[in-house]
Amino acid sequence: MQDLTDRHPGTQHLARHFEYDHLPEHLQAVSRPCGELAEEMIRALPDGPELTAGLRKLLEAKDCFVRAALPPKE
């Protein structure tokens, strides 16, 4: 993730949830595109309520995608 020391605390807080290196490889493949999009949006857009809302919704979507990639419970 890019250096976010000069960004709003809300942006910093949400950005850390897009890290994916700790995930198994097959889940990284699902999570990575969302993390890359989050980074791109943080680079392109100013801090504010709409960026925060967009990141939160992207995080919710990423979490759903990762859960969808988990093996079913037996």
Domain ranges of the chain: 9-69
- Give pLDDT, residue 3: 87
Give the dihedral sign, CA 43/54/8/36.
negative
- In angstroms, the CA 64 to CA 15 distance is 17
Q: Average pLDDT of each block of 10 consecutive residues along the chain (74 residues)? A: 88 96 96 98 97 98 97 85
- Give pLDDT, residue 15: 96
- Give pLDDT, residue 10: 94
- Give pLDDT, residue 73: 85
